[in-house]
Chains A and B, each alone.
Chain A
Amino acid sequence: MNWKTFFALLQRDAHVARRNVIPLLLQTFLQPMMFVFIFGRVMVSSGYMPAAYKSLLLPGIMAISMVFTGVWAVAMPLISEFQFTREIEDRLLAPIEISWLAIEKVIFGTLQALVAGLVVIPMAWLLLRPVQFNLHSPITFVCVTLLVALFSSCGGLALGCSVDQTHIGLMFSMVLTPMIFFGCTYYPWSALAHFPILQKIVLVNPLVYASEGLRGTLVPQFPHLSLLAVLAGLTLFDVLLLGIGLRQFHGKAVS
């Protein structure tokens, strides 16, 4: 393993991210904050939603921000760099096994997703306060957050190496949007009890484990999936998506 090359690749991505920091921030935080404002503040203040909804909403918003950021940070550059211009070529020719380039992308995406998740908490708290956090086990929270960030960037790798530039719109409307709406982000999984078949089907959606996991660690007073199931589900999806992502990456990188 060639660490010098690996860190140079990370530095390059950090440099590019720094250059695009304002659009990146807007893209990451604008939508979740608007959602928090309308559903957590306007709807609650006007009495359409109970006050407790604020605390229920926050972990879901955190999960959406992390997943959206991680997927975006890894998939979008990959889609454009593997296109016609083959911008990624000089990094594929760097003296390191090409899988490490994919892993570098995943690590960088994970870091971005973590930042997004951890910034959403204070921002949402400012907009929603008071929110009732009950952080019983910080270690479990850290584990869940790490696994969610990793899942988002591995998902980004798998999507970025499978989707064509002309299908980016489809990726959002056919993959990410259904994932968010059926991902137990705006409601707990138990709320689907009236739709038993749907409740089973959504379990194939990794975002369910992300939002339920964050809910279970941040606001455990609400019903949530068992943390054991959450950790197992997230680990499984992390491994699965990383495997698919690496395979797809090799397929794209080598003719």
Chain B
Amino acid sequence: MQVGIRTRDLRKTYTSSPPLAAGSSFAFSTARGKRNKKSKSEVVALDSLTLEVSPGEIFGLLGPNGAGKSTTVGILTTRVRPSGGQAWIGEHEVWREQVAVKRLIGVVAQRPNLDFSLTAREILVFHGAYFGIHSRTRTERAEALLDRFKLRDRAEQMVRGFSGGMMQRLSIARAMMHDPQILFLDEPSAGLDPQTRLLLWEIIREYNQRGKTILLTTHNLEEADALCKRLAIIDHGRNIALGTPSELKASVPGGFVLHLRFGRQSLELLQQLQELAGVREVRAVDAASGVSSVGSSDSNSIDVYADRGGSLISEIANLASAASVELCDVHISEPSLENLFLHHTGRSMRE
């Protein structure tokens, strides 16, 4: 039995401060209701979000902090009450049939929310017990998951002393304990070392191959690219692009970015680069913040947005040498989701 996810015109407005995991960079607006004597801050986290995740696919929600990713996961997992619209897990309407929905889903929250009063093994075993799994089965499953997530050595320890990475692994193991049809992973690899991240990707793919649906949120483009069959890019609570990673990347004009570093600043060189064939935009990168901006030249690092990659290098090198500026470093980024985000929102995902 494979289970999909649907949402229709999902809206969420927080009247108090949003939950911690829901980010902090919302747009605040002031609304004066008739009943409220005092003005009240309202935070629009989701603004008519419509999505459809097919049964058995790995679907990614990509967006910057505060885009509404965690709120979407919160609503789909019964933890956040929607202000409007509807959401379904399989045939069950999430808000009305919470118990049926909770049986179908496993959830890994953005920050580890492990039961600090229990040991690692007990966390898994009790989680199994909450889902009515038979005592022998849950012990066996817990052992298998402790092995798979490389937590056997610490199984008897209280989780309070665990490192962030270990807590994250245990959170994921716990979410898989009752073998849910849908796994929600909210920023699953945040804070993991590269080796553990690869282990996690492998486990996610394996779980998906067993016919399970996976919805993950991330602002890591590499992760979205590596794992997801389809992606929705959301910003300010709206779905701004949808498709496979390659479809999305192909939709960006001039997808290449050449990151250049010169020996010194030169406004003249900047203008010459702009005139090269195939160059769409030249931006100086602020050395302190890493943010690129058009027209500013108080930096030696420059991002060139262009339709082509390697073939531009020799021309750039020639221009630099003619201007007596040393070209110290060159890096070519192929068409990426970062560029896509920039294209759709006019700003970098990291801003």
- Could you tell me which A residues sit within 8 Å of B by CB distance? 2, 4-5, 8-9, 11-12, 15-16, 19, 77, 84-98, 254-255
Contacts and interface: CB of A to CB of B under 8 A. Distances in A.
Contacts of A8: 126, 129-130, 132
Contact of B102 (A16, A87, A94): A94
Nearest to A5: B130
A95 B130 CA distance: 7
Interface in B1-30: 14, 18-20, 22
Nearest to B107: A93
A88 B123 CA distance: 12
B114 A87 contact: yes
B174 A90 contact: yes
Nearest to A89: B113
Contacts of A94: 102, 130-131
B132 A2 contact: yes
Contacts of B129: 4, 8, 11-12
A8 B174 CA distance: 16
Interface in B99-126: 99, 102-103, 105, 107, 109, 111-118, 122-123, 126
A5 B127 contact: no
A68 to B, nearest CB: 21
B79 A87 contact: no
A90 B18 contact: no
Which one of A12, A84, A93 has the greatest number of beta carbons of chain B within 10 Å?
A93
A77 B22 CA distance: 24
B300 interface: no
B80 interface: yes
Interface residues of B, number: 35
A86 B113 contact: yes
Contact of A255 (B81, B114, B174): B81
Contacts of B130: 5, 8-9, 90-91, 94-96
Contact of B132 (A4, A19, A84): A4
A95 B115 contact: no
Given A8-B129, A9-B130, A19 B117 contact: yes
Interface of B: 14, 18-20, 22, 74, 77-81, 98-99, 102-103, 105, 107, 109, 111-118, 122-123, 126-127, 129-132, 174
A4 B135 CA distance: 12
Contacts of A89: 79, 107, 109, 113
A254 B80 contact: yes
A23 B18 CA distance: 36
A90 B132 contact: no
A19 B127 CA distance: 18
A84 B20 contact: yes
Contacts of A97: 98-99
Nearest to B109: A89
A210 B103 CA distance: 42
18 contacts: A9-B130, A15-B118, A19-B117, A85-B111, A85-B112, A89-B107, A90-B114, A91-B130, A93-B78, A93-B102, A93-B105, A94-B130, A97-B99, A98-B98, A254-B79, A254-B81, A255-B18, A255-B81
Given A9-B130, A89-B79, 12 more contacts: A8-B126, A12-B129, A15-B118, A15-B122, A85-B112, A87-B115, A87-B116, A91-B115, A93-B105, A94-B131, A96-B99, A254-B79
7 nearest A-B residue pairs (beta carbon): A8-B129, A94-B130, A4-B132, A89-B113, A86-B113, A16-B117, A255-B80
A244 to B, nearest CB: 19
B118 A92 contact: no
B118 A86 contact: no
B41 to A, nearest CB: 15
Nearest to B17: A255
A95 B111 CA distance: 22
Contact of B126 (A4, A12, A77, A87): A12
A5 B133 CA distance: 10
Contact of A87 (B18, B19, B113): B113
Which one of A11, A19, A90, A254 has the greatest number of beta carbons of chain B within 10 Å?
A90
Contacts of A16: 117-118
A56 B35 CA distance: 53
Given A12-B126, A97-B99, A92 B132 contact: no
B79 A95 contact: no
A95 B132 CA distance: 9
B122 A95 contact: no
